Amino acid sequence: MAKEILTYFLISFAIALVLVPIVFTVLKKMQAKQEILKYVEWHKSKSGTATMGGWIFILPTVILCFFFLSPRTPLSNIVVIAAVCYGILGFLDDYLKVRRADNLGLRAYQKFIGQGGIAILVAVFYFMANPDGRIFIPFLNVTWDIGFWIMPLTVLVLVATTNSVNLTDGVDGLAASVSIFYLIGLMFIIALVSNFVYVEEAASFQIITATVCGALVCYLLFNSNKAKVFMGDTGSLYLGGIIATLSMFSLMGLFIPILGAMFVLSAVSDIIQVGYFKMTRGKRVFKMAPFHHHLEKSGWHEARIVWLYCTVTIILGVTCVMFLL
């Protein structure tokens, strides 16, 4: 299995590398350039950078999954379909930003309806496949059957995770790097608890993970500081979708707040900032939210922020794995 995972990782990397010039050409013709928000003035030099680069790692996954997924792995099929649907939603948001030459895109309620609608459909399919509502409890190493409640939990996890990953995408290489280490950690967890998951599904989940990681590593060659392309909401919503569905369908949804703590930090810091600002009529907890922007305003270089977020994710991943050994 390890050899197969490595093979898919390398093939995905190679496909992504071949697709890079094609994607860049299309983005150039579309004039898909990122507009920087006025209140993030220190990113002003990044204005005009190509966006919607998420296709660099979306397309290899779709291409490769076409060959190894089958009717015998329905959940794995839904993982890819749901993630692509989130990617398309993000693409619509990015396209509107490019067309209007601003950073507004879809309205908040429109994006929420789209995210929620996809999540509800996924939850219905998942409940049909897992009517007992079985989920793994971290550190206790047991499963718990929650029945119908698996549906609202799935909706909550998908909406929260896609938004959290989207908020984390604010520094060169940050969302992609953290996603890679999250997915690697999840892949090890799935391998260790595969007896709780259908054998064929567990294998295909690991292959999907390797495929996404391979393409993301290629993408990082062009997204690390200073970025030549941004993933846009196209990429961040896709990553959030694939992280959430893989975690839930492998019964490991409750690992997201632990292994994905840095994604959670982005969302929570943003919620705290907005809530406190409204309650106090103008006061702030952080210099800026999400938290990575607070670090930037505190003088941290982008590469140092990426290093911190990745290191914490690696440590949490190792911790989660150790408790399963």
The low-confidence residues of the chain, meaning pLDDT below 50, are: none
Q: What are phi and psi of 131, to 5 degrees?
A: -65, -25
Element (H, E) at 67: helix 55-68
Find tokens 């993408």 and name the residue: 219
Nearest to 216 by CA among 66, 54, 19, 5: 54
Work out whether strand 142-145 and strand 134-137 pair parallel, antiparallel, or are unpaired: antiparallel
**Residue written as token pair 């290629």:** 218
Q: How far apart are CA 305 and CA 203, in angstroms?
A: 33
Which residue has tokens 């399919």? 125
pLDDT at 44: 66
**Residue range 173-210, pLDDT digits in tens:** 999 999 999 999 999 999 988 777 766 788 899 999 99
Q: What's the pTM?
A: 0.94
Structural contact between residues 158 and 214, judged by C-beta atoms closer than 8 angstroms: no
Q: Please, what sign has the CA dihedral across residues 66, 115, 264, 45?
A: positive
Distance CA 189, CA 212 (A): 17
DSSP string covering 78-141: HHHHHHHHHHHHHHHHHHHHHHHTSS--S-HHHHHHHHHHHHHHHHHHHHHH-TT-EEEETTTT
- Summarize pLDDT for 105-149 with one digit per residue, the tens: 788 889 999 999 999 999 999 999 999 999 999 998 889 999 999
